[in-house]
């Protein structure tokens, strides 16, 4: 990127970040939970930096951005952690309540940024347990053969977003930045 262009983006990002801080002060929103990637790069799903969420829900798989699923999905998931996709992910009640609050406040049907509103609309009231089983997700991934997912030990499952999307933990899923573990860059 040329320097002048870069300076422009730095300037714009600074103005945008300043505005966001003012907005959050005004609205009392939990902006501190949102950490947008550097340079103001567009996030497909707003990342959440809540310590408890990232450490309790980011151990077995990446801590999915709450904006992938509606609040009711998160209530269902958080209401049955002892039988969590075949694993026991039970938590102490105060932490469970705290995390549920973070998830609800940042759910697909609560936030207005990135892809969340589109995801919420496409579900029209349904509350699935998995983002990977939504039609929204399938539409984006239908061209990818099982050979490079289920049959690829370095990926294993579509739920491992970060095995293919380098920016997944920052909420960035740009189709031009896909690099599939054990396969390489995706180019369709």
* Cβ burial 16-37 (10 Å sphere, 16+ → b, else e): eeeeeeeeeeeeeeeeebbebe
Give the nearest distance from C-beta 164 to ligand HEC in angstroms: 3
Nearer to ligand HEC, 28 or 145 (CB): 145
Which residues of the chain form contacts with ligand HEC (CB under 6 A)? 44, 56-57, 59-61, 64, 68, 77, 81, 84-87, 89, 99, 115, 130-132, 140-141, 143-144, 148-149, 155, 157-161, 163-165, 173-175, 178, 180, 186, 188
Please say which residue, 4 or 51, places its beta carbon nearer to ligand HEC.
51
Strand partners, 179: 185
Cβ 3 to ligand HEC, closest distance in Å?
Answer: 28
Nearer to ligand HEC, 24 or 72 (CB): 72
Instruction: Look at residue 188 and give its three-state secondary structure.
Output: coil
Q: How far is the CB of 5 from ligand HEC (least distance, A)?
A: 22
DSSP annotation of 115 reads T
Residue 108, φ and ψ in degrees, nearest 5: -55, -35
Between 24 and 122, name the residue whose CB sits nearer to ligand HEC.
122
- Give the ranges where the chain is alpha helix by DSSP (H): 3-27, 51-57, 71-78, 93-105, 116-123, 135-141
């Amino acid at each position: 990127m040329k320097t002048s262009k870069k300076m422009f983006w730095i300037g714009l990002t600074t103005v945008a970040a300043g505005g966001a801080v003012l907005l959050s002060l005004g609205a009392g929103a939990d902006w501190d939970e949102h950490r947008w990637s550097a340079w103001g790069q567009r996030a497909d799903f707003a990342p959440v930096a809540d310590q408890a969420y990232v450490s309790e829900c980011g151990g077995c798989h990446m801590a999915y951005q709450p904006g992938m699923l509606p609040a009711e999905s998160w209530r269902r998931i958080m209401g049955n952690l002892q039988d969590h996709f075949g694993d026991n992910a039970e938590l102490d009640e105060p932490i469970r309540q705290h995390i549920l609050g973070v998830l609800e406040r940042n759910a697909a049907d609560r936030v207005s940024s990135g892809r969340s509103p589109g995801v919420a609309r496409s579900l029209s009231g349904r509350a699935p347990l998995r983002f990977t089983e939504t039609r929204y997700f399938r539409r984006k991934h239908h061209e990818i053969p099982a050979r490079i997912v289920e049959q690829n030990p370095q990926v294993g499952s579509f739920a491992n977003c970060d095995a293919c999307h380098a920016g997944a933990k920052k909420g960035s899923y740009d189709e031009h930045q896909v690099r599939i573990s054990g396969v390489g860059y995706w180019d369709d």
